[in-house]
Amino acid sequence: MNAPCQGGMWAFCLHSLIREYGWQFCRRIALPHPVRTIRAVRAAHALKLSDGVTALPGGQASGSFDGGARSIVGLGFCLKPLDPLCPACRPNHDCLYLENPDGTGMTAVPAACRQCVIREFGTLAGRAGAAVYIMTSARDILFDVFAPALAEGRFASGLFTLCRYSLKPFATGLLAAGIRGWLVPFETGDCRDYPTWLQADRGNKQEQTAICETNRQGMAAMLRAAAREPAGAVQFQRRGNVLYPRREPASRSGAEAAPLLRSPGGAVGI
């Protein structure tokens, strides 16, 4: 496995200035909080990246991800399976498995969901009391995660999967927003330069990304260690583009707790 891309942060920032994400970041975060943003840029630029999980400096970021109401797990939409295709399609913030209001049993889960990393980590995140966010564009990440974290303290910690090219720019946003973060790089299928990243940011991503087995197991262990609910006890409720966990009512019968997965049109599928 190659080490994450170490360069390109300044080029990324310069390219982004002429795009909505860049000037909205300046308007909503950098200009209102210039000192904070400068410190974030410096800290992100100084990050020593590796093949493993990168913990951001400051606060308790070097400790364990502890989950809870102000935590979030961000998963790139490019993790969605291509063969068979994700039933929620890509790119979007949707996950039929996690969003299904009735829950689902493994016997009713489509083949694409059974092999999906988003299902795996999303389920573990829910048990840890963490919100789940399927990341698409930089603009959406700004409005859905960075801005509300800074403005109202909605998120204080997060575990994120993303391409190696964008690790440092993403870290800048987290640090400026005051989010303690752990960054997990993709091993394959990820963007390695700005033109490729820009296409993916616009939703044009034909490859499926993957996380190396070591990081996959490490990430799962972090989420299991933060678990607050038993397996199968948590469902999600969507607010905006973010999925927030809610506990399944204890009164539900076993027959009610394992319905089939619903398709985008409301039909039931297997």
HSE, CB side, 13 Å, CA atoms: give it for residue 242.
23
Q: Is residue 177 part of a domain?
A: yes
Q: Is residue 263 part of a domain?
A: no
Please name which of 267, 269, 234, 264 lies closest in space to residue 250, comparing C-alpha atoms: 234
Omega before 84 within 30 of 0, i.e. cis: yes
**DSSP H helices in the chain:** 9-16, 20-25, 34-45, 96-99, 111-114, 117-127, 138-141, 147-152, 167-177, 194-201, 213-225
Q: Is residue 261 part of a domain?
A: no
> What's residue 58's pLDDT?
59
Q: Is residue 74 part of a domain?
A: yes
Q: Using one digit for the tens of pLDDT, what is the confidence trace for 74-116?
A: 999 999 999 999 999 999 999 988 987 554 445 577 889 988 9
Q: Using one digit for the tens of pLDDT, what is the confidence trace for 208-224?
A: 999 999 999 999 999 99
3-state secondary structure of 47: coil
Q: Is residue 19 part of a domain?
A: yes
71 strand-pairing partners:
157
Q: CB under 8 Å, gap of 24 or more: what pairs does 4-11 form?
A: 4/49, 4/50, 4/51, 4/164, 4/167, 4/185, 5/49, 5/164, 5/165, 5/167, 5/192, 6/49, 8/165, 8/168, 8/193, 8/194, 9/44, 9/45, 9/168, 9/169, 9/172, 11/194
| Residues 220 and 121 sit within 8 Å (Cβ to Cβ) | yes
Q: Is residue 265 part of a domain?
A: no
- pLDDT 10s digit of each residue in the chain, 270 long? 444 454 467 778 788 888 889 999 999 999 999 999 999 999 999 998 888 999 997 544 446 888 999 999 999 999 999 999 999 999 999 998 898 755 444 557 788 998 899 999 999 999 999 999 999 999 999 999 999 999 999 999 999 999 999 999 999 999 999 999 999 999 999 998 899 999 999 999 999 999 999 999 999 999 999 998 887 667 899 999 999 998 655 444 333 333 333 333 333 222
Q: Is residue 114 part of a domain?
A: yes
Backbone angles phi, psi at 217, to 5 degrees: -70, -40
161 strand-pairing partners:
184
H, E, C per residue of 147-183:
HHHHHHCCCCEEEEEECHHHHHHHHHHHHHHCCEEEE
Range of the domain at 176: 9-249
Q: Is residue 81 part of a domain?
A: yes
Number of domains in the chain: 1
